[in-house]
Structure 1
Amino acid sequence: MQPRVAFLSAEVAPFAKVGGLGDVAGSLPPALHRRGVEIVVLLPRYGSIRLAEHNLELLHGSLVVRAAGREERFSVYRGQLAHGTPVLLLDHPGLFGEPTVYIDQRDRERFTFFCKAAPGMLDAAGMNVNLYHANDWHTAVSLLEQHDVARVFTIHNMAHQGIIDVDYAAYLGIPTGPLLEVEQTGRYPGKLNLMARAIVAADLVSTVSPRYAREIMTPEYGAGLDGLLRSRADDVLGILNGIDTETYDPSNDPAIAAHYHVDDLAGKAINKAALQRELGLDDVPDTPLVGIVSRLDDQKGFDLILAGIERALALGVQFAVLGTGAPEYHAAFARLNVEHAGRFAARLAFDVGLAQRIYAGSDMFLMPSRFEPCGLGQMIAMRYGSVPVVRATGGLADTVSEEGEQPNGFTFSEYSVDALIDALARAVAAYRARVPWWQIVANGMRRDVSWNRAAGEYLAMYRRALAKRASGTIGATG
């Protein structure tokens, strides 16, 4: 049986993106579509999504959805992602008219309406699907209400689980039923956990890297759901994300100073010099330049970076940092800009073009994450010939290797400043050795980080979910 998929997500790039979920939802469906999979993407139309900018056409002007003790009327618009992949957007100014994707205090109501509208959206488009693919808790309710199709649930972020009072869930029209064991005795006793319920309801559960799939079954990474996930261990898959290799391509990227490819890296030095000039770093071609493009928070390891920055600079490197986040990191990096002018440059902003130039101009790319379900930065960095220095967790451990026949980066396991500095020192030593360094660079650039690889694994998962449903082995057994 061939899968016909409804792919539900709160974020889909380029329509709306907050984090990695938006990248996945904007890239994976087109990769599947190119493989011949019938797939349609569903998301809300937020106030920031302009009709003309995205060539959206009105499909249905009066879709009625009942939830929260009332009926609401919605419009449904149709658009496209790459390669003609169809997208359906649910419009309601009162629920989704704000320009932001998430509004914490209202999200349970907003996304319940979205999930309940999904069948009507598909009917309006004349699409008959046999599989729902929900992503994170925001789309979990869609799996609780659909019993005649195969159901797949992907976990992108364990930290946000959709906790809700039982009475409020009933008011919204979310199926409640008896509390799960984890809802009775877990971190939020007596509350409904929408992520937990989706894990139980789904035929198969996936997450965004093989290593992270194993990690979330442990107390350290499972955020209180490790026991539930272990009970479904045979049905939990880890599929490594990809990146858009057409967008992230140093051979034709319009944002960088010079183009280059793995068999002709002359442009790499030109990009490094241009980046040093742009950021006011000392123009020293032989000094290793370490790039960081990230959200600035503890999860990304910035506590380690700040605690070890003096030791790192003593290795004779420069830093180019781009990101926004916690105010304490903004203040610390602003201070370092002054104290280490010429050797440390942080830009506290969101700047897509500068991000590309950091990937292209840096020699190394630092990601000392506390945890990292998949991580995209290390894959983009490899694509641009910037060697990753990472903590071996989640998808970082699946993509970066210091050992073996084709090493492509440097890793450390212990979450400590000493371990980080040791790994960075090994990278600096290899950089100064030059000949093996260029082989490490080439190994990374040649690694297949495309969505085509991941799409094949998702297609296999869809077929497995359909076969499971056809056999009558549906959802969790307990």
Structure 2
Amino acid sequence: MKIVMAAAECAPFAKAGGLADVIGALPRELTRLGHEVQVILPKYSLIHERYQKQFAWQEQYLFEFKGEQQYGVYEYEAHGVQFLFLENDAYFERDSIYGPDDAERYAFFSRAVLDFLLRSKKQPDVLHVHDWHTAVMPFLLKEDPQYSGLATHVKTVLTIHNLQFQGNFSKEVFLEQYGMDPGYFEEGHVEWRGQFNSLKTGIVYADKLTTVSPNYRNEILTENYGENLEGLLAERESDLLGILNGIDIDAYNPETDELIAQTFSADNLSGKRANKSAVQKRCGLPEQPDVPLLVMVSRLSGQKGIDVLEQVLPEFLEGDMQFVLLGSGEAQYEEFFQRLEVDYAGKVSVHLGFDEAFAHQLYAGADIFLMPSHFEPCGLSQLISMRYGTIPIANRTGGLRDTVDEYDEAAHSGTGFLSDFKQGVPFERALSKGLSFYYQPEHWNALVQNGMAKDWSWFRSAREYEKLYTSL
């Protein structure tokens, strides 16, 4: 099949979150399965020069978008995947991926992608769009007559990576940016509570819908997690699938990772101890091999359960443990961690921002990874942690429930420890349990081995997407 993916992010070119990791890895696995895959992205000026130097100029096109607009097309091939970057300096010459005028920027991008596909000699079998940024494309494809030549052949899939972000804008945005008949808004096809809702539009019009884990798929059909769209999703339930994300096992491989202090394997964990020492040294913490090192690499938002850590961490830091944070986000949470670093000097090290190499070092050097998320569509950090022999302590929600198995002391089975906020199992209980097993080498080694033995590659997930595409 010929598959085209359109998205706002893609690792390693432009990344703000897990969406980028998916777009960077899934197409490669689909190519390995024998399919022809194109990935279409905005050509952000922030894409590193080492990649831009390798981009090959294709052509420039004029098309209608709020009058006459133009976009240039650049090509880059990697791992058998053809990446196409659409250039327009007015929209993508920025210091950040997202900004205040995103409604117009991604309306332009969506129109430009469809214009490009209309001109292509070989049209795709499947157009796979991701999150609200590109979710309007199935609607345009089916309702705008200029794309009728595409619509008769192309099937569409929309993946919801996080239902919380829906692309809600005014009615005027819909009329001005997309230039479609106001009747669609009045009849409710694209409207939600008086606003134009980009994601709802995709949910209504895409041929199939997916989310990034089976459990999150079930959760978003309920009032607690449905973000006010659970009724609509229930109407499309038969077309909604939960396909678990994977991770790039080449990029996250403790046996070959050049970003960590020393490589290691499940058969020889001495390198993991060396990584722990390197993290402690870098963070100005005492190099104590027998003190549990807890880490968190995360966006700092309410979703991630930072409010839980505000209640829990200070008490645990009174004991014998160390904690390192890498992340940034809401000011109140950044300030909490900064205060924690002052209050528990010598035990806490806080690094605001993001550093890919340092993140790898933390996964490799830590004993425990904290994920007290209130909801988590899939989560990648727990998968990466287990790959590096680091034990996740997480809340039983979304993809965390699908991927972290509670440790069974009798059977020596399981990969981590879980709270369950909905069932009244607090995070401090899970953390206490995890820390107690840390001091029992027989059990801790079983946990490490169990986690490292898991297969979180994209191959399994790609097979499920292949099956979905074939069904269309």
* TM-score, scaled to structure 2: 0.92
Deviation at 1:122, TM superposition (A): 3.4
Q: Secondary structure at the match of 1:101?
A: coil
In structure 1, distance between residues paired with 2:84 and 2:157: 19
Per the TM alignment, residue 180 of structure 1 is displaced from its structure 2 partner at its CA by: 5.6
- The worse-fitting range, judged by mean Cα deviation, of 48-57 and 320-329 is 48-57
Which digits, 9 at most, give the CA deviation of each residue in 1:358-410, with x for residues without a partner?
A: 11111110000011111111011001000000001111111101056630000
Q: Measure how far apart 1:80 and its partner are.
A: 2.2
Label 1:289 to 1:49 Cα distance change in 2 as closer, same or farther (>3 A).
closer
1:252 is aligned to 2:271? no
Instruction: Please say if 1:122 is aligned against 2:129.
Output: no
Please name the residue that 2:228 is paired with.
224
Q: Does 1:132 align with 2:127?
A: yes
Alpha-carbon separation, structure 2, partners of 1:124 and 1:289 = 55
Partner residue in 2 for 1:473: none
The aligned residue for residue 415 of structure 2 is 408
* Pairing partner for 1:342 from 346, 360, 381: 346
Correspondence for 1:77 among 74, 83, 92: 74
- For residues 425 and 206 of structure 1, what CA distance do their matches in structure 2 show? 36
CA shift, 1:141, in A, is 2.2
Q: Tell me the CA shift for residue 181 of structure 1.
A: 5.3
Return the letter of the residue paired with 2:160.
Answer: I
Instruction: Return the offset for 1:355.
Output: 1.1
Instruction: Return the match for 1:266 from 263, 266, 270.
Output: 270
Distance 1:191 1:26 in 2: 32
Question: Which residue number in structure 1 is paired with residue 136 of structure 2?
Answer: 141
Question: Of the candidates 131, 152, 156, which is equivalent to residue 151 of structure 1?
Answer: 156
Look up the SS of the partner of 1:284 in the other structure.
Answer: coil
Are the aligned partners of 1:59 and 1:124 in contact in 2 as well (CA < 8 Å)? no
Instruction: Give the match for residue 144 of structure 2.
Output: none
Distance in 1 (alpha carbons) for counterparts of 2:187 and 2:212: 25
Q: Kindly provide the amino acid, as one letter, of the partner of residue 40 in structure 2.
A: L
Q: Can you list the C-alpha shifts for 1:401-439, whole angstroms capped at 9, x where unaligned? A: 105663000001116997111101101111111101111
Tell me which of 427, 434, 437 is aligned to 1:420.
427
- Note closer, same or farther for the CA distance 1:227–1:189 as it changes in structure 2 (3 Å cut): same
8 Å contact kept, 2:266–2:449: yes
- Look up the match of 2:59: 60
Inter-partner Cα distance in structure 1 for 2:449 and 2:290? 19
Deviation, 1:450, is 0.8
Q: Offset of 1:192 from its aligned partner?
A: 2.1
Distance across 1 between alignment mates of 2:302 and 2:168:
23
- The one-letter amino acid paired with 1:202 is A
- Whether the 8 Å CA contact 2:208–2:239 is kept in 1: the answer is yes
Select between 356-365 and 320-329 the one with higher mean Cα deviation.
320-329
- Quick check: 1:87 aligned with 2:67? no
Q: What one-letter code is carried by the residue in structure 1 that aligns with 2:56? A: E
Distance 2:56 2:112 in 1: 18
Look up the match of 1:46: 44
State how far apart, in whole Å, the 1-side matches of 2:280 and 2:178 are: 56
Matching residue of 1:448: 455
- Classify the secondary structure of the residue corresponding to 1:154: strand
Pairs within 5 Å for 1:311-326: 311-326=315-330
1:342 Cα deviation from its structure 2 partner: 1.8
- What is the RMSD computed on CA atoms of the aligned residues? 2.0
- Structure-1 residue corresponding to 2:336: 332
Q: 1:393 aligns with which of 392, 397, 413?
A: 397
Give me the whole-angstrom Cα distance separating, in 2, the residues matched to 1:255 and 1:51. Answer: 20
Distance 1:299 1:181 in 2: 29
Unaligned stretches of 5+ in structure 2? Answer: 142-150
Provide the C-alpha distance between the structure 1 equivalents of 2:344 and 2:50, rounded to a whole number of angstroms: 46
Any residues of structure 2 matched to 1:283-362 within 5 Å, and which? Answer: 283-362=287-366
Does residue 107 of structure 2 align to residue 112 of structure 1?
yes
Aligned residues: 456
1:434 aligns with 2:441: yes
Secondary structure of residue in 2 paired with 1:121? helix
SS of residue in 2 equivalent to 1:329: helix
Q: Counterparts of 1:226 and 1:358 in 2: how far apart (Å)?
A: 37
Separation in 2 of the partners of 1:359 and 1:139? 32
Matched position secondary structure for 1:321: strand
CA contact (8 A) 1:16 1:101 kept: yes
The 5 Å alignment of 1:363-374 reads 363-374=367-378
Q: Are 2:161 and 2:212, in contact at CA under 8 Å, matched by a contact in 1?
A: yes
- Runs (4+) of structure 1 moved beyond 6 Å? 415-418
Cα–Cα, structure 1 residues 200 and 180, in superposed 2: closer, same or farther, change >3 Å? farther
Cα 1:448–1:52 shift into 2, 3 Å:
closer
1:165 maps to 170
Q: Which amino acid aligns with 2:36?
A: E
The letter of the residue matching 1:60 is E
Query: Does residue 15 of structure 2 align to residue 17 of structure 1?
Result: yes
Partner amino acid, structure 2, of 1:136: D
Any gaps of 5 or more consecutive residues in structure 1?
467-478
Preserved contact between residue 59 and residue 125 of structure 1 (Cα < 8 Å): no
Letter in 1 for 2:428: I
Contact 1:320–1:345 (CA under 8 A) maintained in structure 2: yes
> Residue deviations 1:136-195, cap 9 Å, x none?
1111221112232111000012122122333431222354525465866xxx52222121
Amino acid at match of 2:93: G
Q: Deviations over 1:343-370 (max 9, x none)?
A: 1111223111211111111111000001
**What displacement does 1:239 show?**
0.7
- Do the aligned partners of 2:404 and 2:415 also contact (CA within 8 Å) in 1? yes
- 1:73 deviates by 1.4
Amino acid at match of 2:39: V
Q: Equivalent residue of 2:112, what SS?
A: helix
- Looking at structure 2, the residues matched to 100 and 348 of structure 1 have their Cα atoms a distance apart, in angstroms, of 17
Distance 1:403 1:334, change over 3 A: closer
TM-score w.r.t. the length of structure 1 is 0.91
Summarize the Cα distance change of 1:324–1:178 in structure 2 as closer, same or farther, 3 Å threshold: closer
Deviates further, 280-289 or 207-216: 280-289
Could you tell me which residue of structure 1 aligns to residue 146 of structure 2? Answer: none
Q: SS at 2:439's partner residue?
A: helix
